[in-house]
Amino acid sequence: MSALAGRTAIVTGASRGIGRGIADRLARDGALVAVHYGSDEEAARETVATVEKNGGRAFAFRADLAAPDAVDAFYAALDAGLAELGEGPGFDILVNNAGASGSGRIHQLTPETFDRLFTINVKAPLFLVQRGLDRLRDGGRIVNISSATTKHAFPDSVTYAMTKGAVDTMTLALAKELGPRGITVNAVAPGFIATDMNARRRATPEAHAALAALSVFNRLGTPADVADVVAFLVSDDARWITGQYVDVTGGTAL
């Protein structure tokens, strides 16, 4: 049987990039994947189509994580999507992948940008977990997508780095809190991945080469590089791993 057969996984921000890669990999491992998106319905449908092409099961649902009613809207849309498939509201895996970036350096920061990044990157995943605890089955898995910026100085986006530091702290606290239920909570920290989020930083061949050179493998990461690690952490093989920060940077800045 597939490693995740019979399990339901939620991946936030799964319409593109790392989220799409995670959704596809978990579906190929047998999970029913709930593909969350914030605004780009067409891209989310492309994720579902990719999953189905590879023999998996998925459905898309929308919730704006920056909205005041984000958590209510999220679970209402999730429940509707599950009900259409004849599934109940319970789930086994939550991957908090959705995120916003682009704060800039300290002198460029605005209160509006600060509030937006902390709302999407910190408040949303924390309250999604809180509201989902009565739905998340014992023995479940939570994976929070962190960033290499919490271990390496990254003044180009100081607030983004701060939000991911909060995610790391949240991961530790939740791992301790949920351990008695057999639920593991871990953070996965990518480096530079070839996605839309950092397209500006690799806009020229020279810039691309400079980013690739940060890894000991002299290349940018791919969504699959991250998705494969997430797939391990949500599997039974990772049952004895919790509260950890897993570096998925290709040896950046060693």
Q: How far is the C-alpha of 167 from the C-alpha of 128, rounded, in Å?
A: 13
Distance (Å, rounded) from C-alpha 243 to C-alpha 179?
9
The catalytic residue among 37, 75, 160, 245 is: 160
- What span, in angstroms and rounded, lies between the C-alpha atoms of 237 and 125? 25
**Going by C-beta distance under 8 Å and a sequence separation of 6 or more, which residues neighbour residue 65?**
12, 38, 74, 98, 119, 120, 124
75 belongs to the catalytic site: no
Token pair listed for 69: 């009613």
**Edge-first strand listing for the sheet containing 184-190:** 57-62, 32-37, 8-11, 91-96, 136-145, 184-190, 245-248
User: Any bridge partners for residue 142, and if so which?
Assistant: 94, 185
Paired tokens of 221: 């990461």
Tally the residues of the chain: 254
What is the number of other CB atoms lying within 10 angstroms of the CB of residue 111? 7
Residue positions annotated with a catalytic role: 160
